[in-house]
Amino acid sequence: MDYYKILKINRLLKNERLKILGFSILYLLRRRHLNIFLDPVLNCNFRCVMCYFSDPDFKPDKDKFKIEDIDFIANNFFNYAIRVQIGCAAEPTLFPHNEKIIQEAKKHHVPYVSLTTNASVLNYEKIKQYFTAGLDEIIISMHGCSKEIYESMMPRAKIEHLHQVLSDISELKKTYPSVRLRLNFTINPDNVDDLKNIKSYLDNYTIDILQIRPIRRLGNTAYRDFNIKKIQPKYSQIIEWIEQECLNKGIITLITKELPDEKLYRNKIDIANYTYFYISPKQIKELPKNKFSYYKHSRKNGIYKRIFQDIFTKKDDIYQSDVSFGNYDVKI
């Protein structure tokens, strides 16, 4: 399954009610319909200035998945997953059993398994273990290209280690050519100029996907400048040649063309409200373990009522916005 082709089709299909109708058919037939997002830990070893972990008053949760939690999640959810994403709001590589999550996902025939990381604790052997377990995509977060900007945006990070990890991944991809490497760059007024230096990464490493997304407010962060509309002219010029460079190299791009206002709205109905399923150590504690059924759980939470209401929502009651954080122009 080519996950990015599905993403592109989803982007091109504008009618959310039609998407939800399609979801309801998959749901009723008990076919795969979920994007499962896992945070095995709720902690991070970086203090990126745009992230809530940079808030000195924020107290990270020390909980993490137990081995039996992985088995429970796999046995109850993975059969309905289109994709399993490891790492959402924390640093997953601080968890020592990601290989088991990947292996269980593949054991349950999940088509696409990805992992997002700041790359800080990765080395050649650890990356190889992930690839051998069956990982389909590794996503590296980097919010600067030069040493100065990268390390200022991501305190505790060292750009030399980032380059070593990217070199290791590129080398391992010769043995595991199906594994994709994605770079994830969050844009803000202080790092937009540094995007010009992305070319050296595109030239020197085997990058498959480049994602550029706008900053969003995530709690009480150290970073304060969320007025990104002011950098739109400069940003548009930079991404124009980046897209052309990626096109020439066969690199998929996920790039938000129009930078949003600080205050954003989402459509009242959104297919992501149905396909998105998040599980962390906190959520796993709240799920009943005795004779658990995903279908009973979803029905108890009123999924049929929500589907009916959304499909028959009046068109005038649906807020349509062309500007959102997930509104990527997907180019394959």
The answer to whether the CB of 132 falls within 8 A of the CB of 102 is no
Q: Is 138 helix (H, G, I), strand (E, B) or coil?
A: strand
What does the pLDDT look like over 84-93, one tens digit per residue? Answer: 999 998 999 9
How is the chain split into domains, by residue range? 3-331
pLDDT at 62: 86
The CATH architecture one would assign to domain 3-331 is Alpha-Beta Barrel (3.20)
Highest mean pLDDT among 118-122, 225-229, 291-295: 118-122
Question: Taking the CA of residue 293 as centre, how many other CA atoms within 13 Å lie in the half-sphere pointing to its CB?
Answer: 6
Among residues 2, 21, 7, which one has the least CA distance to residue 306?
Answer: 21
pLDDT at 328: 60
The answer to whether the CB of 64 falls within 8 A of the CB of 114 is no
pLDDT at 211: 97
Beta strand pairing call for 81-86 and 209-214: unpaired
Q: Decide which of 327 and 54 is more confident.
A: 54
Q: Decide which of 45 and 323 is more confident.
A: 45
Is residue 27's pLDDT more than 50? yes
What does the pLDDT look like over 147-189, one tens digit per residue? Answer: 999 999 999 999 999 999 999 999 999 999 999 999 999 999 9
Q: Name the pTM for this structure.
A: 0.93
Q: Kindly list the distances between the CA atom of residue 163 and the CA atoms of 44, 90, 144, 175, 253, in Å, as whole numbers in the listed order.
A: 20, 22, 12, 19, 21
Confidence tier at 14 by pLDDT (50, 70, 90): confident
Question: Taking the CA of residue 225 as centre, how many other CA atoms within 13 Å lie in the half-sphere pointing to its CB?
Answer: 11
pLDDT at 268: 58
Q: Decide which of 8 and 79 is more confident.
A: 79
CB count within 10 Å of CB 297 equals 14
pLDDT at 327: 57
pLDDT at 217: 86
Average pLDDT score over the chain? 91
Is residue 264's pLDDT more than 80? no
pLDDT at 325: 44
Query: Which of 98-112, 236-250, 299-313 has the weakest average pLDDT?
Result: 299-313
Is residue 133's pLDDT more than 70? yes
